[in-house]
Structure 1
Amino acid sequence: MFEHLVSFKFNETYTADKEKALLDMLMTFKERIPGIVELTAGVNVTEEVDNIHGYTLGLRVTFRDQEALRQYGPHPVHQQFVKMLDGMLENVVVIDYPISRT
C-alpha cells in the first residue's frame, strides 16, 4: 500500500464556502477514484504554539498499490479538484511513501 499526504496553504481568496466545497469534493474521491483504500480530510485545528506556517487543510489517502497512486494524479475527478484550487493555493506539501500493514 501507499500513503499520500497533502497539506494545503491558501491565500486570501480562500473562504469558508470554498473550504466546504473542497472538503465535499475530497470526500467523494474514495467512491469515484479506483484504488483508494482509505481517505480522510479535514481542517487543521492544531493547538501547537509554533504552527505559524498557515497550512489549513489536510488530506490523507491510502492507495492499494503504487500503480493506483500513479493513476490518481491524472484521474478526471482529481483534475476537477485541482481546477477548484486555481487562484487560491499559496503552497502545497505532498508526501508519498510505501506502507505495510502487518
Structure 2
Amino acid sequence: MFEHIVVFKFNENYTPEKGNLLVETLLAFKGRIPGIVDLTAGLNVTEESGSIHKEGYQLGLRVTFEDKEALRQYGPHPVHQHYVSLLDGIIDNVIVIDYPIAK
C-alpha cells in the first residue's frame, strides 16, 4: 500500500465556503477513483501556527492506495482533475508526500 499526503496553502482569494467545497469534493473521491483504500480530508484547525488562513496551510488530505500503480493512476483520473480545476486562482503552495506503507 502507498500513503499520499497533501497539504494546501491558499492565497487571498480563498474563502471558507470554497474550503468546505474542496473538502466535500475530496471526500467524494473514495468510491469514484479506483485503488483508494482509505481517505481523510479536512480544514486545518490547529492553534499552533498563528493565523491559519494567511500564514499556514489550510487543508490536509491523506489517501491510502492499494499499490503504487493505483497512486500513479490517481493523478490523471478525471475526478482528481476536476478537483485540481477548483484550485485555480486560490492556490499558493502545495506539499505532497508519497511513501510505501511498511508491513
Sort the TM-score into its range (normalised by shorter chain).
over 0.9
Which aligned runs of 4 or more in structure 1 are off by greater than 3 angstroms?
49-53
Percent of aligned pairs with the same amino acid: 67
- Give 1:51 deviation, angstroms: 8.1
Distance 1:17 1:67 in 2: 34
Distance 2:22 2:42 in 1: 10
Question: Which residue of 2 is the match for residue 37 of structure 1?
Answer: 37
Whether 2:8 is the aligned partner of 1:8: answer: yes
Question: Which residue of 1 is the match for residue 89 of structure 2?
Answer: 87
Give, as a single letter, the amino acid of the residue that structure 1 aligns with 2:12. Answer: E
The number of residue pairs the alignment matches comes to: 101
Question: Which residue of 2 is the match for residue 22 of structure 1?
Answer: 22
Question: Which residue of 2 is the match for residue 54 of structure 1?
Answer: 56
Distance 1:49 1:74 in 2: 33
Distance 1:51-1:64 versus aligned 2 partners, 3 A rule:
farther
**Deviation by residue 1:22-74 (Cα, 9 ceiling, x = unmatched):** 11100100110000000000111112257874100000000000000000000
Give, as a single letter, the amino acid of the residue that structure 2 aligns with 1:17. Answer: E
SS in 1 for 2:99: strand
TM-score by length of 2: 0.92
